[in-house]
């Protein structure tokens, strides 16, 4: 029996060497998870009832080679499509429709702009609609949309302006000395004495053409200002005219907006200039362009169909300098894809040349109830088995799923120092078991010589 025990020990030591050697060989393999050889004793059973007090074991057997799914170091690479997972989870790949799982996140773009591994397996995730909203639910092949970003006509301008309450009045009418009121200094955009301050704003039409909307503010009385609006120096509704749109703003004693009015007369059919909830709305804007002869006419584009709104909720009248504190507008020109970034939740953001950005997809991660039940298939990949359980797939940082680090890769979790120690131990085990066989052989020869 000692021969069998020694042989089982040699086999076990050899397997331990195999596992240790495989770990060492993959010390630089991205996403590799080390394995551990686990052994169990072999016991010679008895057919007799009761406990065998004097029974001897029958050697050792390989019980399992268990994978160690501890975290590997995540190292920066500088490649945006390189992704490492901090925490639990696996990337989901499509292998001709079959799902496989990996921790190795070295991805690249294919000729069709799909996010793929070096051998062409496609990374799975959630697509985004035209507005950048992630459509969760159904996994799909992640693809980088390189098409131009469609322009958007300006629909909302939010003005954060302070109009100096102590500024000198420029009344619209003055007393001619006889008690009669006569017009005073008619507004002229080229004459700065006819207004207090002007603020230009870039706006965009439906074709992405840039225009300049300029608002001229004139303090016409106590807590009252008149606003004149031109686009490209023209009347927004009639490019042939330079007559501005006119509105008034009245302020409360605390400097907040009290009321607003708009002159909605004399406009072409379908055009209007109105006020609602401290917001001026200009409907029917005709984007214009000047030809070589100096004539202004429509450029063929249109403004926002719902009108261009000018929100004045953040406008104040305090005793400080007239200035624009903040401003935003939601229109933009055509954009060309300029860069790509990925955040910790796996969302792919495309940045465009028009300073806009939009989500174009989201990486999905999978988790398993029993990771050690996964079956290795090579290429640092696994497939699910009955033992592993079915995958739970969701966005990164959901539940127990880890986060995604872009421009980085997770390295092997092999501890080289520990593996070298295991190598020495396996070698010693092999030599010791070989000695068991050698000793048994010597004893057998002695017995034979005695007979």
Q: How far apart are CA 372 and CA 361, in angstroms?
A: 30
Distances (CA, A) of 93 to 40, 335, 445: 36, 31, 61
Contact 298, 285 (CB under 8 A): no
Length of the chain: 451
How far the first Cα of the chain sits from its last, in Å, is: 21
Instruction: Specify whether the CB–CB gap between 231 and 204 falls below 8 A.
Output: no
- Write down the pLDDT at residue 49: 53
Q: What is the pLDDT along the chain (451 residues), one digit of tens a residue?
A: 577 787 877 888 888 888 998 999 999 999 999 999 888 888 766 555 555 566 777 788 888 888 999 999 999 998 999 999 999 999 999 998 899 999 999 999 999 999 999 999 999 999 999 888 999 888 999 999 888 889 999 999 998 999 999 999 999 988 877 888 888 999 999 999 999 999 999 999 999 999 999 999 999 999 999 999 999 999 999 999 999 999 999 999 999 999 999 999 999 999 999 999 999 999 999 999 999 898 999 999 999 999 999 999 999 999 999 999 988 999 999 999 999 999 999 999 999 999 899 999 999 999 999 999 999 999 999 999 999 999 999 999 999 999 999 999 999 999 999 999 988 888 888 788 777 777 776 777 777 777 6
Contact 72, 412 (CB under 8 A): yes
Cβ partners under 8 Å of residue 420, min gap 6: 24
pLDDT confidence of residue 431: 83
The rounded distance, in Å, linking the Cα atoms of 419 and 20 is 6
pLDDT of residue 83: 97
Question: What pLDDT, on a 0 to 100 scale, did the predictor assign at position 443?
Answer: 73
Determine contact, residues 274/262, Cβ cutoff 8 Å: yes
Q: What is the DSSP string of 109-138?
A: E-TT-BEE-TT-PEEEEEEE-TTS-EEEEE
Half-sphere exposure of 214 (CA within 13 A, CB side): 17
SS3 of residue 385 by DSSP: coil
User: Helices (H), strands (E): how many in the chain?
Assistant: 2, 33
| Cross-strand bridge partners of residue 22 | none
Of 88, 99, 89, the residue nearest 122 (C-alpha) = 99
Residue 60: predicted pLDDT = 84
What are the structure tokens assigned to 76, written together? 């920066």
């Amino acid at each position: 029996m000692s021969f069998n025990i020694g042989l089982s020990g040699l086999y076990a030591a050899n397997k331990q060497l195999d596992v240790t050697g495989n770990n060492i060989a993959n010390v630089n393999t991205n996403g590799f998870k080390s394995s551990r050889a686990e052994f169990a004793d072999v016991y010679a059973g008895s057919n007799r009832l009761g406990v065998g007090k004097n029974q001897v074991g029958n050697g050792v057997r390989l019980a399992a080679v268990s994978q160690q799914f501890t975290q590997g170091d995540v190292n920066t690479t500088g490649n945006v499509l390189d992704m490492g997972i901090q925490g639990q989870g696996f990337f989901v790949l499509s292998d001709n429709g079959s799902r496989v799982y990996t921790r190795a996140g070295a991805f690249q773009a294919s000729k069709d702009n799909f996010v793929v591994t070096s051998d062409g397996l496609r990374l799975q995730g959630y697509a985004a609609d035209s507005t950048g909203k992630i459509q969760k639910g159904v996994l799909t092949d992640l693809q980088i949309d390189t098409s131009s970003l469609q322009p958007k006509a300006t629909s909302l301008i939010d003005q954060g302006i302070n109009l100096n309450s102590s500024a000198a009045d420029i009344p619209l009418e003055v007393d001619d000395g006889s008690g009669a009121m006569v017009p005073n200094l008619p507004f002229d955009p080229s004459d700065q004495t006819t207004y207090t301050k002007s603020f230009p704003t870039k706006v965009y039409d439906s074709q992405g053409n840039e225009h300049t909307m300029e608002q001229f503010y004139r303090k016409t009385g106590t807590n009252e200002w008149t606003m004149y609006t031109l686009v490209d120096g023209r009347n927004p509704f009639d490019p042939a005219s330079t007559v501005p749109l006119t509105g008034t703003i009245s302020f409360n004693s605390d400097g907040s907006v009290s009321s607003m009015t708009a002159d909605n007369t004399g406009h072409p059919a379908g055009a209007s200039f109105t006020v609602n909830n401290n917001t001026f709305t200009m409907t029917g804007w005709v984007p214009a362009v000047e030809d070589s002869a100096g004539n202004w006419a429509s450029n063929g584009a249109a403004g926002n169909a719902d009108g261009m709104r000018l929100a004045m909720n953040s406008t104040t009248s305090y005793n400080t300098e007239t200035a624009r504190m903040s401003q935003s507008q939601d229109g933009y020109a055509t954009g060309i894809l300029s860069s790509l970034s990925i955040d910790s939740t796996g969302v792919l953001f495309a940045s465009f040349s028009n300073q806009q950005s939009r989500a174009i997809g989201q990486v999905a991660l999978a988790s398993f109830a029993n990771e050690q039940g996964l079956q290795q298939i090579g290429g640092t990949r696994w497939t699910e088995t009955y033992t592993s359980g079915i995958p739970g797939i969701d966005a990164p940082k959901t539940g127990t799923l880890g986060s995604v680090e872009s421009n980085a890769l997770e390295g092997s979790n092999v501890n080289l120092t520990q593996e070298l120690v295991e190598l020495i131990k396996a070698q010693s085990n092999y030599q010791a078991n070989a000695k068991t066989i050698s000793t048994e052989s010597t004893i057998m020869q002695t017995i034979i010589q005695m007979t």
